[in-house]
C-alpha cells in the first residue's frame, strides 16, 4: 500500500475501537452503507470528503487512516487469546479490545524507533515438544536461565522487563478480560494486563502470559491449561512449596499468601494439584472460600502490593524530557486526539529503572 493511500483496514479498526457497526457508522456519517462496505473491503478508494466525515465520526485525525502497520487478530500466533475471557462478553467488545491493543501496539512501534532497550537477559522460546510436554520442567528451566533463586519471585514485572519484555497496565474497558500478550517479529514481547487486577491476580496472570510467550508459537486447544501450569510452577515451584502445603486450611493459606504473593485460591489449588489434599478437601476449602466471600475478594489486610511496570512510562518520559516532545507532538506521533491520549497516557508518570537509550 502506498504511503499516501487511505488504509481501508484502519477505517475498520477505528470503527471497531468505538464499538460501532458498519450500519451505525453509516447512519452517523450519512454515507451509504453499500459505499462504506466497499471502502472497508478495499474495493473502492476513499475520497477525501468521505474520509473527513469518517474522521469526524470516529474522532481520529485523518492521518490515523493512512497508517500501514500490519494488524494482528486475537488468537493468532502473534496475538494470544484473551486470558480469563468470560463467555458472556459481547462480540463488539472483543473487537473493540482487539482494535485498542492494535492501536496501542502501533504507538509502541512508533516510540521504539527512537530506542534501543539494553537488557542482559532475554525471553527464550522453549518448545514443549522438546521437553516431552513437561510444562513444569520448562518453568524450572526459565527460572534457571534467569538465575532466579529458590522460593518466591520478588517482582515478576521487573524480571520480565529486565529480559526485554514490555508490560502495560491496560484499561480493557471490561472486568471480564484479564490480559493478552503479543509476540511479533521485530518487537519486544508485549504484555497487556488489566490495570484493575489486584496484585496477586496480576502476578499469576502475567506469569500465565509469560508462559504463552515462552512456549506457544501456534495456537492449539491446550494452550490455556499449559500456561496455567507454567504460571503455577514458575511462581510456586513444587520443590519449594510442596512441604508447606500439608494440612492446608484457610488460615494456613492466608499465612502463605504474603510469602508467595499469590492468592489463597491459587495456593489451595496448588495443594490439590500436587496431591497434598484430596478432591473432597479441595472442594470443601473452596466452599469455605466462597462462604467467607473470599472467592471474589480476599481479606484486604492480605492484599499484595501491585507491581508497577516501568519501561513503557520511561519511554514516554524519555521522549518528553530528553527529546523535547510536547503532548501535542506525542499526539501527532500516535495519530490520536486528546480524548485517547488522556485515556491511555496521562497517568503514565512512573520513572523507569531499566536503562533506555536513544
Backbone angles phi, psi at 193, to 5 degrees: -120, 135
Q: Maximum distance among all alpha carbons in the chain?
A: 71
Closest C-alpha among 85, 117, 141 to residue 189: 117
Quick one: pLDDT at residue 191? 97
Q: 91: which residues sit within 8 A by CB, 6+ positions away?
A: none
Q: 334: which residues sit within 8 A by CB, 6+ positions away?
A: 106, 107, 110, 340, 341
Q: In what order do the strands lie in the sheet with 190-194?
A: 166-170, 190-194, 179-182
Three-state DSSP class for 265? helix
Name residue 106's beta-bridge partners: none
Tens digit of pLDDT at every position of the chain (358 positions):
445 799 999 999 999 999 999 999 999 999 999 999 999 999 999 999 999 999 999 999 999 999 998 888 765 555 555 666 556 788 899 999 999 999 999 999 999 988 877 788 899 999 999 999 999 999 999 999 999 999 999 999 999 999 999 999 999 999 889 999 999 988 999 999 999 999 999 999 999 999 999 999 888 889 999 999 999 999 999 999 999 999 999 999 999 999 999 999 999 999 999 999 999 999 999 999 999 999 889 999 999 999 999 999 999 999 999 999 999 999 999 999 999 999 888 864 444 443 443 3
Three-state DSSP class for 79? strand
* 273-299 confidence digits (pLDDT tens): 999 999 999 999 999 999 999 988 999
Three-state DSSP class for 267? helix
Quick one: pLDDT at residue 99? 95
Query: What global pTM score does this model have?
Result: 0.91
Quick one: pLDDT at residue 205? 97
Please provide the DSSP assignment of 207-256 as one string: HHHHHHHHH-SS--TTHHHHHHHHHHHHHS-HHHHGGG-TT--HHHHHHH
Question: How many of the other CB atoms lie within 10 Å of CB of 191?
Answer: 26
Please provide the DSSP assignment of 186-204 as one string: TS--EEEEETTS-HHHHHH
Three-state DSSP class for 257? helix
* 51-87 confidence digits (pLDDT tens): 999 999 999 999 999 999 888 876 555 555 566 655 6
In 54-187, at which residue ranges do the beta strands (DSSP E only) sit? 116-117, 166-170, 179-182
CA distance 263 to 254: 8
Backbone angles phi, psi at 191, to 5 degrees: -125, 115
Residue given cell 516510540 in the structure block: 111
First-to-last alpha carbon distance for the chain, in angstroms, is: 30
Grid cell locating 279: 478432591
Three-state DSSP class for 357? strand
Residue given cell 490515523 in the structure block: 64
Grid cell locating 138: 520448562
Burial class (CB in 10 A: 0-12, 13-18, 19+), 263: buried
Residue given cell 484486604 in the structure block: 300
Amino acid at each position: 500500500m502506498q504511503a499516501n493511500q487511505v488504509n481501508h483496514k484502519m477505517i475498520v479498526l477505528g470503527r471497531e475501537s468505538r464499538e460501532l457497526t458498519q450500519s451505525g457508522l453509516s447512519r452517523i456519517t450519512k454515507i451509504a452503507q453499500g459505499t462504506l462496505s466497499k471502502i472497508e473491503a478495499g474495493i473502492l478508494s476513499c475520497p477525501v470528503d468521505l474520509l473527513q466525515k469518517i474522521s469526524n465520526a470516529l474522532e481520529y485525525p485523518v492521518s490515523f487512516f493512512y497508517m500501514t502497520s500490519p494488524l494482528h487478530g486475537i488468537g493468532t500466533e502473534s496475538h494470544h487469546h484473551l486470558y480469563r475471557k468470560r463467555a458472556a462478553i459481547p462480540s463488539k467488545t472483543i473487537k473493540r479490545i482487539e482494535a485498542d491493543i492494535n492501536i496501542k501496539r502501533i504507538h509502541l512501534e512508533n516510540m521504539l524507533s527512537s530506542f534501543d532497550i539494553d537488557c542482559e537477559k532475554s525471553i527464550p522460546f522453549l518448545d514443549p515438544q522438546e521437553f516431552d510436554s513437561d510444562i513444569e520442567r520448562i518453568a524450572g528451566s526459565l527460572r534457571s536461565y534467569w538465575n532466579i533463586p529458590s522460593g518466591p519471585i520478588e517482582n515478576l514485572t521487573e524480571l520480565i522487563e529486565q529480559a526485554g519484555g514490555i508490560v502495560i497496565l491496560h484499561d480493557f474497558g471490561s472486568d471480564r478480560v484479564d490480559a493478552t500478550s503479543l509476540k511479533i517479529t521485530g518487537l519486544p514481547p508485549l504484555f497487556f494486563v488489566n490495570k484493575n487486577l489486584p496484585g496477586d491476580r496480576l502476578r499469576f496472570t502475567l506469569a500465565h502470559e509469560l508462559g504463552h510467550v515462552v512456549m506457544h508459537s501456534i495456537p492449539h486447544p491446550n494452550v490455556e491449561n499449559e500456561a496455567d501450569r507454567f504460571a503455577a510452577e514458575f511462581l510456586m515451584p513444587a520443590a519449594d512449596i510442596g512441604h508447606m502445603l500439608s494440612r492446608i486450611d484457610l488460615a494456613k493459606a492466608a499465612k502463605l499468601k504474603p510469602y508467595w504473593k499469590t492468592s489463597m485460591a491459587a495456593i489451595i489449588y496448588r495443594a490439590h494439584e500436587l496431591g497434598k489434599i484430596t478432591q473432597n478437601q479441595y472442594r470443601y476449602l473452596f466452599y469455605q472460600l466462597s462462604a467467607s466471600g473470599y472467592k471474589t475478594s480476599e481479606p484486604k489486610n492480605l492484599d499484595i502490593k501491585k507491581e508497577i511496570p516501568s519501561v513503557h512510562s520511561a519511554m514516554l518520559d524519555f521522549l518528553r524530557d530528553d527529546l523535547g516532545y510536547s503532548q501535542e507532538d506525542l499526539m501527532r506521533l500516535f495519530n490520536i486526539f486528546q480524548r485517547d491520549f488522556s485515556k491511555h497516557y496521562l497517568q503514565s508518570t512512573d520513572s523507569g529503572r531499566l536503562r533506555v537509550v536513544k
